[in-house]
Amino acid sequence: MRTLNWLLRGLLFFVLFAFALNNQQLVDLHWFMGYKWQAPMVFIVLAVFALGCVFGALAMVPSWWRHRRDARNRARLMPGPVKASPVPAKGKPQPEADTAIPSHLPFPPDMPAPRKPGK
């Protein structure tokens, strides 16, 4: 499988290399107000690809920030570790530990809400 992966990578490299060799002619890129830029077509295609990658990553930044903020808030809402209580002696009632999540906090999306008791 690893050999097949490297063969596919090599094939892709040689196809792109052949594309670059076949497109070495100069092209004119006409901008506004009569300004034009002359460069090999391969460099223009490479520059447009790089700009597309940059703009795509910048478009995802707000979503990354929102997910990081949601994860940080979800981590704050998670209850702390539950301490092990000693085994109660027979005949002695043990006071209940307060390990429940407070009712005023919303449940995180990855934790199911408590079910309502059946009638």
More confident residue, 115 or 100: 115
- pLDDT given for residue 77 in this prediction: 79
Domain ranges of the chain: 2-77
The model's pTM is 0.49
Measuring CA to CA, which residue among 58, 102, 53 is closest to residue 78? 102
Confidence of residue 9 (pLDDT cuts 50, 70, 90): very high
- Asked whether residue 109 carries a pLDDT value surpassing 80, the answer given is no
- Asked whether residue 71 carries a pLDDT value surpassing 70, the answer given is yes
Measuring CA to CA, which residue among 77, 82, 81, 80 is closest to residue 105? 77
Percent of the chain predicted with pLDDT > 90: 28
Task: Say if residues 89 and 59 touch (Cβ distance below 8 Å).
Answer: no
Tell me the two tokens of residue 99.
């390990």
- pLDDT given for residue 56 in this prediction: 95
- pLDDT given for residue 41 in this prediction: 87
Tens digit of pLDDT for each residue in 10-68? 999 999 888 888 888 898 888 899 899 899 888 888 899 999 999 999 999 999 999 99
